[in-house]
Amino acid sequence: MRKLTRRRFPLSLGRDARFIVVTGLSGSGKSEAIRALEDLGYFCVDNLPTSLIPTFAELAADSVGRIERAAVVVDVRDRYFLKQFPHIWKRLRRRRKLKPLLIFLEASDGALVRRFSQTRRPHPLAPNRPVVEGILEERARLDAINRMADRVFDTSDLTVHELRHALMALSRGRSGRTKLVVTLLSFGYKFGVPLESDLVFDVRFLPNPHFVSGLRTLTGRERAVQQYLNRSDATRVFLDKASDLLKFLVPHYVHEGKTYLTIAVGCTGGRHRSVAIAELLRRRVERLGGVRLRIKHRDVAAE
């Protein structure tokens, strides 16, 4: 069973689309799709009433610099969807500035029954009937909209991550692969581990500049503190091993579809060692390529 069907339009339309409409069968993964598009920089609205699609599209088209790209999920949860959508979509097609793209998600009957069974939710078209009856009815009623779609994804055998990858490949902008945003965050353990941490490096094993005359009043941003730490074999070995780990991890995170990575570096007070190591790591992470790097020192000014 094919997971992606191309229809009528070249793939470049997907890359340039300013306005994407996601629809399809209930339980086919529309919520996951809209979250993936949101991570790709689209301004997203889920379950928008069908009658408001033209208004939302106009706002997106006219919001130059504020909303560059927008996406919306519409489906049979809106009782007017089946009647109104075909006419509305034809109108949107005439707006060349929007470059609209219609994505339809579907799945096999067996996969949909299994998903509804796992969530224990009723089918929107069969609240008081067996789920399979709602699935068959919805499939028949959506057939015309399915045939209108520019892209059709069969999600029967797709994991959440595979669906995300497919949408990322289809919807990236002209700049190519979306860069992973890497944040190097220094902190002090006495103020708590940052909740947003993905990776945590504890550098309290390194020599502490706090106890060195002339360094105590400085911070890890200062060259003197970094040079002091670099004189330690432990610092050099740690930086080499941490760099090797990141060289291995970052490409895998990018492939998995991760968009943000926070690397937290902690020492006791968050003023000397963690700050210096984060600064020294920055130079090595910059060499990885394919990432957008930020650095933040959370506790450097804390008492």
Q: Which of 108, 141, 171 is the last residue before a domain boundary?
A: 171
Which DSSP letter does residue 29 get? S
pLDDT-based confidence at residue 235 (cuts at 50, 70, 90): very high
DSSP characters over 183-210: EEEEEEGGG---TT-SEEEE-TTS--GG
Residue 303 lies in a domain: no
Average pLDDT (24-35) is 90
Tens of pLDDT, residue by residue over 255-273, are: 776 778 899 999 999 999 9
Q: Which of 149, 171, 193 is the last residue before a domain boundary?
A: 171
Full domain range(s) for residue 190: 180-297
Average pLDDT (127-150) is 92
Determine the pLDDT at residue 273: 96
Using alpha carbons, select from 173, 156, 54, 144 the residue that is nearest to residue 108: 156
Same domain, 40 and 151: yes
Tens of pLDDT, residue by residue over 34-50, are: 888 887 788 899 988 99
Determine the pLDDT at residue 35: 87
CB 165 within 8 A of CB 243: no
Q: Which of 122, 142, 171 is the last residue before a domain boundary?
A: 171
Residue 153, classed as helix, strand or coil, is: strand
Residue 302 lies in a domain: no
Residue 37 lies in a domain: yes
Express as a percent the part of the chain with pLDDT over 90: 47
What b/e sequence results for 250-263 when a residue is b if at least 16 CB atoms lie within 10 Å of its CB, and e otherwise? beebbeebbbebbb
Pairing assessment for the beta strands 100-106 and 291-297 based on DSSP bridges = unpaired
Q: How many CA atoms lie within 13 A of 268 on its CB side?
A: 9
DSSP characters over 114-147: HHHHHHTPPBTTBTTS-HHHHHHHHHHHTHHHHH
Same domain, 138 and 202: no
Same domain, 79 and 141: yes
Residue 191 lies in a domain: yes
Q: What's the domain count of the chain?
A: 2
Same domain, 132 and 239: no
Residue 20 lies in a domain: yes
Within 10 A of 171 (CB to CB), how many other CB atoms are there? Answer: 24
Judged by average pLDDT, the poorest of 120-124, 269-273, 295-299 is 120-124
How far is Cα 301 from Cα 303, in angstroms, rounded to an integer?
Answer: 7
Same domain, 82 and 156: yes
Determine the pLDDT at residue 65: 55
CB 183 within 8 A of CB 294: yes
Residue 197 lies in a domain: yes
Determine the pLDDT at residue 174: 41
Same domain, 29 and 164: yes
Q: What is the CATH number of the domain that holds 12?
A: 3.40.50.300
Nearest-5° Cα angle at 180, 14 to 46: 50
Same domain, 166 and 27: yes
Same domain, 14 and 141: yes
Nearest-5° Cα angle at 48, 47 to 54: 150
Within 10 A of 294 (CB to CB), how many other CB atoms are there? Answer: 13
Same domain, 190 and 131: no
pLDDT-based confidence at residue 2 (cuts at 50, 70, 90): very low
Determine the pLDDT at residue 146: 93
Same domain, 142 and 24: yes
Q: Residue 181 burial by CB count (10 A; 0-12/13-18/19+): exposed, middle or buried?
A: middle
Same domain, 153 and 240: no
How far is Cα 114 from Cα 267, in angstroms, rounded to an integer?
Answer: 48
Same domain, 129 and 190: no
